[in-house]
């Protein structure tokens, strides 16, 4: 086998071998990063990082912020129309 052909085959095999090596480092799971929720559901039905009460508290906080922004937007629109 020629050196050029051997080098080409080694380069061709490098990609899948590197993928196997990297996946093994992540416990067999692909890491897609950013934007994914870090909340994991445990086997007993509770969340691993947030409880249901914590999620409800955060939802109420977001609802209050949304209402405040909507009101300030309405006031801005009304004052601009006058």
Residue 12 lies in a domain: no
Cα distance between residue 40 and residue 47, in whole Å: 6
* Residue percentage of the chain with pLDDT more than 70: 68
Residue 71 lies in a domain: yes
Secondary structure class of 74 (helix, strand, coil):
helix
Residues 38-59: tens digit of each pLDDT: 555 555 555 556 799 999 999 9
Q: Which domain holds residue 65?
A: 51-82
Residue 36 lies in a domain: no
Cα distance between residue 24 and residue 62, in whole Å: 39
CA atoms within 13 A on the CB side of 75: 6
Residues 64-82: tens digit of each pLDDT: 999 999 998 888 877 776 6
CA angle 24-25-28, nearest 5°? 45
Tell me the pTM: 0.36
DSSP calls for 26-39? TTT-----SSS---
Q: Domain tally for the chain?
A: 1
End-to-end CA gap in the chain: 84
Residue 81 lies in a domain: yes
């Amino acid at each position: 086998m020629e050196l050029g052909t051997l080098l080409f085959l080694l380069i061709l095999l490098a990609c899948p071998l590197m993928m196997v090596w990297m996946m093994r480092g992540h416990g067999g799971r692909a890491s897609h990063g950013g934007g994914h929720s870090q909340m994991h559901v445990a086997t007993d039905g509770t969340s691993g990082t947030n409880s249901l009460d914590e999620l409800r508290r955060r939802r109420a906080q977001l609802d209050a912020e949304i209402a405040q922004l909507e009101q300030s937007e309405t006031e801005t629109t009304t004052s601009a129309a006058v």
